Structure 1
Amino acid sequence: MQISDLPYPDPGVPDARSGPRFLFWLGRNQLRGQLRSLAWGLLHFASVAGLPYGVGYAVQAVVDGSGSRLAAAGGLIVLLGAGIALGDTMLHRTAVTNWITAAARVQQLLARKAAALGSALTRRVAAGEVVAVSTGDVEKIGWFVEAQSRFLAAAVTVVLATVGLVVYQPALGVVVAIGMPVLALAVLPLLPRATRRADRQREKAGRATELASDTVAGLRVLRGIGGEELFLDRYRRASQEVREAAVHSARMWALISAVQVLLPGLLLIAVVWYGVHLAREGRIAVGDLVTVYSAIMTLAYPLRHFEEIAQAYSFSRPSAQRAARVLALDRGTRAGEGGAREAAGVPTGDLYDPATGLLAPSGLLTAVVCGDPDAAGRLADRLGGHAPMDDDGPAQPSVLLGGVALDELSLEEARTAVLVQDKDPVLLSGTLAELFDVPASGAVGPREALAAAECGDVLDALSQACVDEDPMRARVTERGRSLSGGQRQRLALARSLVTDPEVLVLDEPTSAVDSHTEARIARGLRTLRRGRTTVVFTSSPLLLDRADRVVFVREGRVAAAGEHRKLVRGEPLYRAVVTRETGEEALVRPAVQGPEEDSDIDIEETA
């Protein structure tokens, strides 16, 4: 795989059982690139390690006064220099390719997982952690994958050069052979502490990123309540903790680097001292001493890769662990296997949740009242096929559509069958026509959906900034920042209506609009979705009064079901949630006001 071939047609199925397993899987899937990098690395390091032999041969030729051997030594040095230059250039090229392609594979896997989980991702993983994994962690993972082949080439070179010294000059080669393992393994006792400090730094940096992400997401609210300074102070403290952890980690790595410099120096001193003693006794030639001396000097270069691979692993392991944790998330299929059922088209029929007892009859508008917004969001996710998971699989039984478990559908079938609009839907930048360019049945056009969602004022606002008379060519800014909260909400609702799914689940679709607009949206939604199954999570009387059926969910189970007005009269707890009454007021009210008085109340008009 070359950089020009990116993105991958299929990034593969990762081994997300642990961080080390994920790193091994990445390296194994780039075997061809790793082998190329290894080959060029061997050429480069072998040329570097062979250079001392050429220098020593040249020195001995000068001592012996042999011009032919000096010329041969010069030719050897030129050849080794060419090998160093070519090997270094191609090693850098292949290493960077391995780094970028590994990072791209991880990013594609994360993007695919985010698309599969949808809005459930940020409910199961902190937004800051997702940002950290998809940015800094991806680079660190790519660094370790790329460093593997260079480390292996350096290790092979060190072994071969050491063996060569033993064969070339046994008296000094034995000293080098004893010293090299000590140099390579001397830092191992320091690595656990360095790894712990690196992990602590990554943990604190991840928390700081999460805090910054949450602060930016809630900036408008913070400004409204004057909380900017409070959160800024929290971020300052978190940033200082990251700085202190980074300093502690850097001190340990500085110690490791010092050891990597000190020990080769001590070995060099020992070899030179012993070599000079042997040269005085006439047991070795001057050229041999120069060769061994130069070999130790050059072997310090590949030895540095031992430190680099340790550092790369220490930094990438927690990053890979976080990436594996995200990639291991599943939308709720049994044993993580979506699409186990033989494809037989998108199922139709009643939508039923065995865990809560919630039933949404086919073709009807069902309103669900939970009282707890978080519980409503989790239940909406379940209805979309995103069941909460535990270690052994789904924590609760799957939702059924027409008697078919959504867990048994492939992701494409499940999303075609059931569309869930989150409480805070996102609008991407682009023209209005591009916003509505979504998978759809074709039965509902954008203009019909815009009319049903009461987007007339939204079109007017967008048209003012558009030179074209066609409002569908008006541009929507990123996340619709130029629009109000209610306008963004209505555009998102219109986009969901255009898709025209078999089952549409809406979580508080009108929470940011006024009551008059909400009443018109309720009429438009009921008309446009006639004959289609629609589930609306809301506590608004205007929407509840338009629903064919209302379901009251309390403490995770269906507590009551029926028409809105009957539930208001007969269920005190339901009335308390819908009318915002206290429990005592809800219990007293039936004794004061009878059904006859309440039956003529038009909720839409009073609103």
Structure 2
Amino acid sequence: MQISDLPYRDPGVPDARSGPRFLVWLGRGQLGGQFKSLCWGLLHFSGVAGLPYAVGMGVGAVVDRDSTRLLLVGGLLALLGVAISVGDAMLHRTAVTNWITAAARVQQLLARKTAELGSALTRRVAAGEVVAVSTGDVEKIGWFVEAVSRFLAALFAVVLVCVGLLLYAPELGVVVGIGVPLVALAALPLLPRATQRADIQREKAGKATELASDTVAGLRVLRGIGGEELFLGRYREASQEVRKAAVRSARMWALISAIQVLLPGALMITVVWYGAGLVADGRIAVGELVAAFSAVATLLYPLRHFEEIAMAYSFSRPSAQRAARVLSLTRTDAAERPAAAAAQAPAPGGDLYDPETGLLAAAGRFTAVVCGDPDLAGRLAERLGGHPVDTAVDGPSVLLGGVALDELELDTARTLVLVQDKDPVLLSGTLHELFTVPSSGAVEAGAALAAAQCADVLDALLQSAPDGVEDPMDARITERGRSLSGGQRQRLALARSLVTDPEVLVLDEPTSAVDSHTEARIADGIAALRAGRTTVVLASSPLLLDRADRVVLVHEGAVAAAGTHRELLHREPLYRAVVTRETEDEQRLAQVELAQLEALTEIEESA
């Protein structure tokens, strides 16, 4: 896999059972790139490992005054220099390629999962954690994938140096062979504590990131209530906690680094001291001592990769665990269904039925749903779209034309049913780009904008547009539509939903941020534009409810009453309390007045 080939056509199905399994799955997917990196690493480190012996041979040639052998050693040194240079350059190239391709694969997997789950993702995983996984965690995972091949090549070089010394100078080779494993493994007892401190640091950093993202998302509200300083103080406290945790983690890693410098230095002193005695006794030649000293000095370089792989794994393991947790989420928490269940799509024009609440939205009708609990309304909207947050709480799948939505292919389910939640998101770009969405083509953008009463929004966008922009469809919207008011954003999002013209359109409080006059016109526009199409609106506004073909009252998770708005107002006190927001005293007074009116009517009729 080359960088020019990115993105992957299919990033594959990850093993998301745990963080280590996910890392192994990533490694298996890049065996070719890892093999290339390993080969170039072997060339590089073989050249490094060969330098001490070449230097020792050169010193021996000088002592023996053998010019021919010295010339050969010079050629060998030149060859080793070429191997080191070429191997290092290509190792870096292939290792970075492995890093980028691994990070790209993880990002594609996360993007695919985000598109699959939609708004349900942030209900299962905190938004800050999603941000942390898709940014910093991706880099740490790629770092470990990159470091594996370098570590294996460095390990080969260490073994090669030790074996070579055992053959070249056995007495010194034994000392080096015993000392190198001790040096390499000396930091292992400290790794669990270092990993624990690093995990604490990442946890605190994730919480700080989540707090920052939530603060930025609600900045307009915070300014309105004067809460900037309060949340700024909270973020300062969180950032200081991150700083303290980072310092504690850095101290442990600094100790590990110090050990990686101190122990090799002690080994080098031991080799020199012991080797000098062997030279004085005439048991080894000066060249052998120089070769042993150079070999130990050379080992400092590959041994650094032992520390790197330990750090890379310590940092990437929790990152991979978080990524695996996100990637393991499914549209529902139910057991995996047989593939044949997703083959049959419902016939067009079928009723939408929720077995959990008993809600039935007749095909081609405008149905309004009233819930006293806003959280219940939000969960019901998600379930009507075939994306329940938790099947253990939200119950079985919704049926469309007798077919369970969560058994359909994701693309099919989203083509049939579109859910607009109460806080829709507008992406940055032109208005034309905003309305470039998958649709049936039956509804034009102009008709949708008119039905959603967006004339003033178009004027506002055109006035704030740069000179030369004459068509409001070419005007740009800022990120999340922050330059617009809440009502303007809501109406643009409604128009976008109307343009898609799905088989079933579910709207959760689509007019909560507009005035009553605009709301009445929007209700008429929705009813006219969606005539003959199934539309479900979750709302408590009398203006919307009065224009619905059928109104359903959902109370405590089940359908409590159904009828027209006026019928329910007349006969259902609970419905009247939710819609008109009457107090208990007002309800009793209204019931008394209604009873008096009915009695008076009966008297008049009898007379």
| TM-score bracket for the superposition, by shorter chain length | over 0.9
Alignment of 1:323-402 (within 5 A): 323-332=323-332, 334-336=334-336, 340-341=340-341, 343-345=343-345, 347-348=347-348, 349-389=350-390, 396-402=395-401
Task: Summarize the Cα distance change of 1:594–1:5 in structure 2 as closer, same or farther, 3 Å threshold.
Answer: farther
Task: Summarize the Cα distance change of 1:222–1:284 in structure 2 as closer, same or farther, 3 Å threshold.
Answer: same
Name whichever of 308-317 and 365-374 sits farther off: 365-374
* 1:31 equivalent in structure 2: 31
Name whichever of 308-317 and 393-402 sits farther off: 393-402
Work out the CA distance in 2 between the residues paired with 1:144 and 1:178: 29
Identity %: 75
Q: Is the 8 A contact 1:569 1:595 kept in 2?
A: no
Question: Is 1:516 equivalent to 2:517 in the alignment?
Answer: yes
Work out the CA distance in 2 between the residues paired with 1:311 and 1:318: 12
SS in 1 for 2:364: coil
Q: What does the per-residue CA deviation read over 1:39-69, in whole Å, with 9 as the maximum and x for residues that have no partner?
A: 1111111111110000000001001110011
Work out the CA distance in 1 between the residues paired with 2:423 and 2:455: 21
* 2:224 equivalent in structure 1: 224
Work out the CA distance in 2 between the residues paired with 1:337 and 1:21: 24
State the AA in 2 paired with 1:571: E
Task: Summarize the Cα distance change of 1:209–1:354 in structure 2 as closer, same or farther, 3 Å threshold.
Answer: same
Deviation at 1:80, TM superposition (A): 0.6
SS in 2 for 1:553: strand
Q: Is the 8 A contact 2:449 2:495 kept in 1?
A: yes
Alignment of 1:138-177 (within 5 A): 138-177=138-177
Deviation at 1:343, TM superposition (A): 3.3
Alignment of 1:54-453 (within 5 A): 54-332=54-332, 334-336=334-336, 340-341=340-341, 343-345=343-345, 347-348=347-348, 349-389=350-390, 396-453=395-452
Q: Is the 8 A contact 2:365 2:531 kept in 1?
A: yes
* 1:605 equivalent in structure 2: none
Deviation at 1:565, TM superposition (A): 2.0
* 2:601 equivalent in structure 1: none
Work out the CA distance in 2 between the residues paired with 1:564 and 1:590: 18
Name whichever of 524-533 and 474-483 sits farther off: 474-483
* 1:602 equivalent in structure 2: none
Q: Is the 8 A contact 2:486 2:513 kept in 1?
A: yes
How high is the TM-score relative to the length of structure 1?
0.95
Deviation at 1:323, TM superposition (A): 0.9
State the AA in 2 paired with 1:174: V
Task: Summarize the Cα distance change of 1:465–1:337 in structure 2 as closer, same or farther, 3 Å threshold.
Answer: farther
* 2:561 equivalent in structure 1: 560
Work out the CA distance in 2 between the residues paired with 1:20 and 1:229: 42
State the AA in 2 paired with 1:383: L
Work out the CA distance in 1 between the residues paired with 2:372 and 2:178: 73
Work out the CA distance in 2 between the residues paired with 1:584 and 1:305: 77
Name whichever of 460-469 and 93-102 sits farther off: 460-469
Name whichever of 29-38 and 367-376 sits farther off: 367-376
Deviation at 1:216, TM superposition (A): 0.3
Q: What does the per-residue CA deviation read over 1:97-124, in whole Å, with 9 as the maximum and x for residues that have no partner?
A: 1111111111111111111111111121
State the AA in 1 paired with 2:13: V
Work out the CA distance in 2 between the residues paired with 1:395 and 1:146: 43
Task: Summarize the Cα distance change of 1:221–1:394 in structure 2 as closer, same or farther, 3 Å threshold.
Answer: closer
* 1:462 equivalent in structure 2: 461
Deviation at 1:170, TM superposition (A): 1.1
Work out the CA distance in 2 between the residues paired with 1:426 and 1:337: 32
Deviation at 1:511, TM superposition (A): 0.6
Q: Is the 8 A contact 2:120 2:389 kept in 1?
A: no
SS in 1 for 2:341: coil
Deviation at 1:89, TM superposition (A): 0.6
Name whichever of 478-487 and 587-596 sits farther off: 587-596
Q: What does the per-residue CA deviation read over 1:536-555, in whole Å, with 9 as the maximum and x for residues that have no partner?
A: 11111111111111122222
State the AA in 1 paired with 2:530: R
Q: What does the per-residue CA deviation read over 1:314-369, in whole Å, with 9 as the maximum and x for residues that have no partner?
A: 11111111111111111127435696435344543111111222211111111111
Task: Summarize the Cα distance change of 1:422–1:311 in structure 2 as closer, same or farther, 3 Å threshold.
Answer: same
State the AA in 2 paired with 1:448: A
Deviation at 1:161, TM superposition (A): 1.7
Work out the CA distance in 2 between the residues paired with 1:148 and 1:476: 45
Q: Is the 8 A contact 1:388 1:396 kept in 2?
A: no
* Matched residue count: 595
State the AA in 2 paired with 1:57: M
User: C-alpha root-mean-square deviation of aligned residues, in Å?
Assistant: 1.7
Stretches of structure 1 lacking an aligned partner (at least 5 in a row): 598-607
Deviation at 1:469, TM superposition (A): 4.1
Task: Summarize the Cα distance change of 1:168–1:418 in structure 2 as closer, same or farther, 3 Å threshold.
Answer: same
* 1:51 equivalent in structure 2: 51
Work out the CA distance in 1 between the residues paired with 2:292 and 2:320: 41
* 2:592 equivalent in structure 1: 591
Q: What does the per-residue CA deviation read over 1:410-462, in whole Å, with 9 as the maximum and x for residues that have no partner?
A: 01000001001121111122222221111111111111111111111122222
Deviation at 1:394, TM superposition (A): 8.8
Stretches of structure 2 lacking an aligned partner (at least 5 in a row): 599-607
Q: Is the 8 A contact 1:346 1:417 kept in 2?
A: no
Task: Summarize the Cα distance change of 1:174–1:493 in structure 2 as closer, same or farther, 3 Å threshold.
Answer: same
Task: Summarize the Cα distance change of 1:86–1:443 in structure 2 as closer, same or farther, 3 Å threshold.
Answer: same
* 2:550 equivalent in structure 1: 549
SS in 2 for 1:8: coil
Q: Is the 8 A contact 2:332 2:390 kept in 1?
A: yes
Work out the CA distance in 2 between the residues paired with 1:130 and 1:241: 21
SS in 2 for 1:118: helix
Task: Summarize the Cα distance change of 1:468–1:205 in structure 2 as closer, same or farther, 3 Å threshold.
Answer: closer
Deviation at 1:594, TM superposition (A): 5.1
State the AA in 1 paired with 2:533: R
State the AA in 1 paired with 2:523: A
Work out the CA distance in 1 between the residues paired with 2:87 and 2:337: 46
SS in 2 for 1:335: coil
Q: What does the per-residue CA deviation read over 1:351-408, in whole Å, with 9 as the maximum and x for residues that have no partner?
A: 1111222211111111111122222111111111112347xx8962111101100111
Work out the CA distance in 2 between the residues paired with 1:186 and 1:174: 19
State the AA in 2 paired with 1:84: I
Work out the CA distance in 2 between the residues paired with 1:303 and 1:337: 50
Work out the CA distance in 2 between the residues paired with 1:291 and 1:595: 112
Deviation at 1:481, TM superposition (A): 2.5
* 1:601 equivalent in structure 2: none
SS in 1 for 2:331: coil
Deviation at 1:273, TM superposition (A): 1.4
Q: Is the 8 A contact 2:508 2:537 kept in 1?
A: yes
* 1:604 equivalent in structure 2: none
Deviation at 1:512, TM superposition (A): 0.7
* 2:14 equivalent in structure 1: 14
Q: Is the 8 A contact 1:19 1:317 kept in 2?
A: yes
SS in 2 for 1:119: helix
* 2:605 equivalent in structure 1: none
State the AA in 1 paired with 2:203: E
